[in-house]
Every structure is written in structure tokens, then in C-alpha cells.
Amino acid sequence: MTAITTERPQAGKNRSMTLPAARRFLLWTGIVVLLAWVLVPIYFVALGAFGGRLGVFRWPKSIWPSNLAIEPMMQFLTIEGVFNALVNSLIAAGLTVLFSIALGAPAGYALARYTFRGQNAYRLLVLLTRAFPLAILALPLTVSFIRLGLYDTPFGVSLIHTVLALPFAALVTQSLFMGIPREYEEAAWVFGCTRLQAFMRVVLPLALPGLAATAIFAFVISWNEVFAASILTVRERTLTAYLLRILAESPLHYRFAGGFILIIPSVLFIFAVRRYLFAVWGIASK
Amino acid sequence: MADIVIDRIAKEFGSFHALEDVSLTVNDGEFVALLGPSGCGKTTLLRIIAGLEIQTSGRVIIGGRDVSGLAPRKRGLAMVFQNYAVFPHMTVFENVAFGLRMQKADQAEVKRKVQRAAALLHIEDYLDRYPAKLSGGQRQRVAVARALAVEPAVLLMDEPLSNLDALLRLEMRTELKAVLREAGTTTIYVTHDQTEAMGLADRIAVMYGGKIEQVGSPLEIYSKPATRFVGGFIGSPPMNFIKVPCNHGTARVGAFALPCPVMDGEIELGLRGEDAGLTTDGSGIPFDVKVVEPMGSHLLLTGSIGGQVVRIVAPPVANVNAGERVGLKVDPSRLTWIDSRTGRAIART
């Protein structure tokens, strides 16, 4: 989540061209503060992660990296299970993205384009799934997952994460599709498209930026989720769940390394889809 | 090319009757305007012809083929939308080529037809631009070019000029007429702007309250309105309606007597503002002038005849002052007589 804010200042950069000097100063101050807010903690985590045992405990802390070492990081990565957990996390998050868009986008499309009985109730119900405390469901879920053979698999975890991400996916895509005029689709129909073709050729390309944002949301939700991942797995833990367990008994610089590794995939993922995000915020020319 | 037969089309939205038993025949190559105030059902009718809306009952027959239940893409038509609906993620070229690509035309043919449509609408220079970089007028041209590129049998236009500013609208109107005459496409054009309908159409269907009030050439509609609504909707200023009593086949307006088509009872006299001339000696229908508005090309006189508000168009040089009483002479053959009860015109004898 944090990394999204780091991208935002760039939005201000373009706009500032038209602002007078005083406002520009304020704007840049804001940008610097926001950047610092996000980046300074990440920086210190990184310092801790690469500084080794000594670096972590040195006081006063030096701002500049001294005697950087890759070893703590490598050691961390070679701890038994970390790499496996990282792969599990990526699988679970990837599947969550896939499922929540595959299920959420059609729901959002239906909510946006059709009026049907119980539409508002449905919209509310979708949100209500978030109101259900997962802790109450933990035991029955575990039991049924064991019965179904889903227990201790990234697939099973991704199912629960999809449930968590789905309300957002449905509601975000709904407003996304509402923003695409129906006339575009009608024009496509008139000019020879079936409903599916019209969706693929006209609606989908226009919706991509919003879908990218939805994907980020789903990815981050899954990546950061600990509780369900912890109770539904034993050996095939996701990285967050795994780290939560092992880091409690680890030296401090390992914890920093773990924290740093947790941040990286989200940042990379957001970096990969940033072009679409910018379009959502009206920067890229459509 | 194809003719269109609209056969007793009705459309209900819940309990609201948007269209009631509408029938209309559009001949091959003809340009018909559906004209009416907002909410009269004209756009609904157009969307039913396009297949974007499903009629409650009735049939649509295009070129002898009953298309009533067919999807829009199977009806062999093209459409220009009010908001253009030019796809923002495609270049102008791809927009114009869209219909051809869906027909799986080969690359050379697509190129040739796009070039021709673009030349017709003067958009050759923008072919590789994106619609976001175009003005409203240019986007409108792209929308029309996209529709013409597929060489449709039928072209449907839904208020295509209403989002343009007045000057551009005038320019596009003239151009549209020339382009469509050249293309020879059967066209149905929805508008609420009477000057557009009068200027463009071979025939106009005036719609009101989900019904077609009158179908006819622009001149017919203007000079021989079939109902009070048509007379009042078409023309600026609208037709004047003056209630007059009839006695033994003679209607009396003040001291002025006119032959009228009914023997006895009250009747409404429909009078176009420009069909009345000022008499020099004050004879004729007495007209009390209240307001004189010099419009440049003419004087617009607002006043009353027997206490009923009437607007008269006078020559720009006429010497008329507010507060004066002048005499009007009328040509009985240019009057419309309306039955007060039904609101329909009474056939002239």
C-alpha cells in the first residue's frame, strides 16, 4: 500500500507547471514530506537489512550506509523455507488477482450496465462479506479445507484472499464501467460486433487502467494478509505468515531483511502496472 | 440501398407508452427527419430501428427483410450517435475502419474505403491522431465517416449536430446534405431542431407524445399542418391560432368576415405570421400592436386580435409603432382551419 503514495507526487509534477511560484514551493514541500514519510522508513529498513548484526545495534545510527553487506540478506534468503514461502506468496497473490478480476469484473459490469431486482441489496451484500470476522470462521474453514483437500495449499489461501478482495474488485470495476459510456458499446454493436466482441474490443481497452488498479489492490491484500494464511497452512506458508512465525525468534537484522523482502514485490508489481495507474489519474493521454 | 417499413411499432417502459402504433415508410435513398420535442419518442423509435431497443409490438422491415428480432449487427445499418461515440483508444483511421474490420474486409479495401470516407468528410489530415486531440466538429466528422465507410444500406443519425456550436452546426448541416446526397443512403435523422429537419430532409415526420402527427415534405408540413401541434411546433414565430365563431359558413374576426369550412360553432384559425400583410388604409382584420421587435430581416410584431395574442412578421421598412391599431389582409388559401375539439386541421374545400 505504501508504495502507491510514492508514485503520487509525480502527478503533481506536471500540474505544477501552471502554478505560481509560491504555490509551487508549497507543492514541492508537500511532495518532499510525502516522499520522506514513505521512503525514510523503507530506507532504514533497508539499512538494517543490509547492515548486518553490528549495523543494527550501533548507536547513534549513521544515516549513510557503512560496511554494507549482502551476507545477512543472503543468509536470510537461505534460511530453510523462506524461498518456498516467497514462491507460495507469489502464487497466492497471483491467483487472488486472477480470481478477483475474473469474478469481480463481470459483477461490476452487471452492476454498471443492467438494472435488476435487488441491485442495491446485492451491492450491500458484497460489502457485508467484509463485515464477517474471519476469526469466527477460522475453525470451520480449516475443517472444511482439510476435507476438501485445500488445506495447506497456496490455492486454498488464494480462495480466502479472493473473498477479501472481491468486494473491492466488484465495486471498483462497477464505477469503472459506469465511466465508459454505453454509446461506445452500442456503436460497436451497430458496426458489427457481438456483445462479447464489443466488450473485448472497446470496453476492455478503456477499462485496463482501472483493472490494473484493481489488480494492485487484490495483490496487496493477498500479500499482506497474515491471519487466514497462518491458520490455513502448516508447511506451505506464505511469506508473511512464515516470517511472522520465524522472525519472532530471529536476530534483529534478520527481521529487517524479512521486512525488506516483504516490501519489494509490491513495489515491483506497482512499478509494472504504473502506466495504467497514471492513466486512471488522468496523466497519460488517452 | 434499402427502404424501411416501420409497421405499427409500440414501445412501453413499464406503464409509460413511449410509442403508440407508429407506422412509417421510408423510401429507398430517401432522407427522413424525425422531428419533435424531447420525450416524444423519436430517439426511442430510432433505437428500435437500430435494434438497440426492443419494441413491445410491431415490426421493422429493412429492404424487404423483417429485422424485428435481429441483433444490431445483422441489420445492415450504420449509426451516428449524439455524443459521437468515437472510440477514444483508437486512431481516427481505426475508428473509420472499425466497421470494415468487423466485416473482415481485406487490408487494401479497408484502406481504400477509409480514404474515401475521410476525403468526403475532410478528415484526411487527422487519420493517425487520437480523438482526444480533435475538436467537437472534427469528432463529428469522424463519426459520420465511420458510418459512411461501411457503405450502409441505411444510415441512422441521432441528433448528430446538437453538441456543436451554432456556427459549426450550420456549416456541418450544409456539408452533411451534400455528402449524403452523394452517398444516396436511406437516412433517418432524429432532431428537435426544426431548421435542421427543414433544411436536410426530403420528408419530415413530426412526432408528439409517442405518435407521428404528420408526415410530409418540409413545405407541406410548414404550410399545411395537419394538427395544431404541428403548426405550433414548426415555424418561428409559431403559427397563430385565433378562436373565431362561425355562422352560416362565415367566420368573423372583429368586423372582418371570412368564408369558413364549417357551418356553425367555434373554430380555430391558423395563421402564419408572414402570411398576413399590413393594409395601408387600416381595413381587414384589426390588429392591436403591443411590441415591435426589429429583427433586421423583418419586424416581429406582437399584439392581439380580439384579445388573443398574435405574432405577425412585417417587412423591415414597415412604419408601425407600438400601441397602434393596424389592419391585416390575409390570403384565405393560406389559412389553416383547426377543429377546436380534436386539434386536427379541417380539410380545405
In this complex, is the C-beta atom of B323 within 8 Å of any C-beta atom belonging to chain A?
Answer: no
Interchain proximity A205–B83, CB inside 8 Å: no
Segment A188-202, tens digit of pLDDT: 999 999 999 999 999
Q: What is the pLDDT of residue A1?
A: 39
Q: Which residues of B touch A206 (CB under 8 A)?
A: 88-89
User: Which parts of chain B fold into alpha helices (H)?
Assistant: 42-50, 92-102, 107-121, 136-149, 166-183, 194-200, 218-223, 228-233
In this complex, is the C-beta atom of B85 within 8 Å of any C-beta atom belonging to chain A?
Answer: yes
The CATH superfamily assigned to B4-229 is P-loop containing nucleotide triphosphate hydrolases (3.40.50.300)
Compute the nearest-CA separation of B144 from chain A (Å): 12
- Tell me the percentage of chain B whose pLDDT exceeds 90: 63
Segment B109-154, tens digit of pLDDT: 999 999 999 998 889 999 999 998 899 889 999 999 999 999 998 9
In this complex, is the C-beta atom of B150 within 8 Å of any C-beta atom belonging to chain A?
Answer: yes
Residue A275's pLDDT band (boundaries 50, 70, 90)? low
Q: At what angle do helices A134-148 and A154-178 cross, to 10 degrees?
A: 120
Q: Among all residues of chain B, which has the CA nearest to that of A191?
A: B99
Domain residue ranges of chain B, discontinuous segments joined by +:
4-229, 236-338
Q: What is the pLDDT of residue A55?
A: 66
Dist CA B184 CA B29 (whole Å): 5
> Which residues 34-73 of B have a C-beta within 8 angstroms of A?
50-52, 71-73
Lowest mean pLDDT among A12-21, A44-53, B157-166, B203-212: A12-21
Q: What is the pLDDT of residue A155?
A: 94
Order the strands of the B211-216 sheet from edge to edge: B77-80, B154-158, B186-191, B31-35, B203-208, B211-216
Q: At what angle do helices A71-78 and A82-113 cross, to 10 degrees?
A: 80
Residue B92 has pLDDT above 90, yes or no: yes
Interchain proximity A206–B89, CB inside 8 Å: yes
Per CATH, the number for B236-338 is: 2.40.50.140
Residue B193 has pLDDT above 80, yes or no: yes
Mean of all residue pLDDT scores within chain A: 81
DSSP string, A188-251: HHHTT--HHHHIIIIIHHHHHHHHHHHHHHHHHHHHH--HHHHHH-SSS--HHHHHHHHHTTS-
Lowest mean pLDDT among A15-29, A139-153, B159-173, B237-251: A15-29
Lowest mean pLDDT among A199-213, A248-262, B4-18, B274-288: A248-262
Q: What is the pLDDT of residue B113?
A: 93
Domains in chain A, please, with CATH?
Answer: 76-280 (1.10.3720.10)
Segment A204-223, tens digit of pLDDT: 999 988 898 889 889 988 98
Q: What is the pLDDT of residue A3?
A: 40
Q: What is the pLDDT of residue A11?
A: 44
Rounded mean pLDDT, B311-326: 90
Q: What is the pLDDT of residue A277?
A: 63
